[in-house]
Amino acid sequence: MTDTSATLVQGTLDMLILKTLALEPLHGWGISQRIQQLSRGVFEVNPGSLFPAFRRLERAGLLECEWQTSENNRRAKYYSLTKAGRQKLRSETKEWERQVAAIARILQTAS
């Protein structure tokens, strides 16, 4: 993801991470791949922004982590959503939908 407006991108990235973890716990690489998959290649998150986001969300109490054995038989850090994380995801999604609808309305009427 290229850096346009830092805060906007940060908020969106956080939401994407929360969403990808809504289904099942994943490790860092898994999350990166899932985001790429789900967005059909539009978003490619570079690890430089991903890992700080993990730390931030973890510290904010929205994620929790656990060390487990991963596919290639190594230890990997798995992230999962906390209850607060789920709540946040719900409220963020609602807010995002609200904003998107508003922008869509504006764009429709303008042209």
Partner 1 sequence: MGLWRNLFAGLRGLFGKRQAEKELEDELRDFLEKSAAEKMRAGMSREQARRAARLEMGGVEAVKENVRSASWETHFETLWSDLRFGARLLRFNPIFAGAAILSLALGIGANTAIFQLLDAVRLRTLPVKNPQEIARVVFDRRGSRSGNFSTRYPDFTDAIWEQIRANQEGFSGVYAWAPVQFNVSPAGEVHNVQGLFVSGEFFETLGVEPALGRLLSAADDQPACASAGAVLSYSYWQQEYGGRRDVLDRKVAINRHPVPIIGVAPRDFYGVEVGRSFDVAVPVCAEPLINGENSQLKSRIGWWLSVMGRLKPGWTVERASAQLRAISQRIFEAAMPPEYNASNAKSLLAAKLIAIPGGSGASDLRESYAQPLWLLLALAGLVLLIASANLANLMLARASVREKEMAMRMAVGAGRGRLIRQLLVESLLLAVIGAGFGALLARNLSQVLVTSMSTEQAPLFVALHTDWRVLGFTSALAIFTCVLFGLAPALRATSVSPGLALKEGGRGTTQGRTRFGLRRILVVSQIALSLTLLVGALLFARSLKNLATLDPGFRRDGILVADIDFTARHLPTEARRAFSDELLRRVRGIAGVDAAATAAIVPLSGDGIGHDILAGASGEAPDDVPVAAFNYVSPGYFETLKTPFLVGHDFDEHDRTGAPNVSIVNQAFVEKFAQGKNPLDFKFRVRRLMKTSAPYQIIGVVKDTKYSDLRENREVIVYTPQAQNEEAANDALILLRSSAPLAGILSAVKSTANEADPDADITFYNLHRMIDDGLLRDRLMARLSGFFGVLAVLLAVIGLYGVISYMVARRRNEIGIRMSLGADRRSIIALVLCESVLLLSIGLGCGVALALAASRAATSLLFGLKPHDPATLAMATVILAAIALAASYIPASRASKLDPVVALRNE
Q: Which residues bind partner 1 (CB under 8 A)?
A: 27-29, 32-33, 46-49, 51-56, 58-62, 67, 70, 72, 74-77, 84
Cα–Cα distance measured from residue 26 to residue 20, given in angstroms and rounded to the nearest whole number: 8
Closer residue to partner 1 in complex, CB, 55/105: 55
Q: Which is nearer to partner 1, 40 or 59 (CB)?
A: 59
Number of Cβ atoms within 10 Å of the Cβ of 85: 22
Which of 3, 11, 46 is closest to 28 using CA atoms?
Answer: 46
- Closest separation in Å from C-beta 44 to partner 1: 9
Strand 75-81 vs strand 63-69: parallel, antiparallel, or unpaired?
Answer: antiparallel
Residue 19 CB, shortest distance to partner 1, in Å, is: 20
Toward partner 1, which CB reaches closer, 33 or 99?
33
Tell the smallest beta-carbon distance from residue 4 to partner 1 (Å): 18
When the beta carbons of 40 and 74 are compared against partner 1, the nearer one is 74
Find residue 63's DSSP bridge partners. 81
Task: Write the CB contacts of 28 (distance below 8 Å, at least 6 apart in sequence).
Answer: 47, 50, 51, 54, 76, 77, 79
- Shortest reach from residue 29's CB to partner 1, in Å: 4
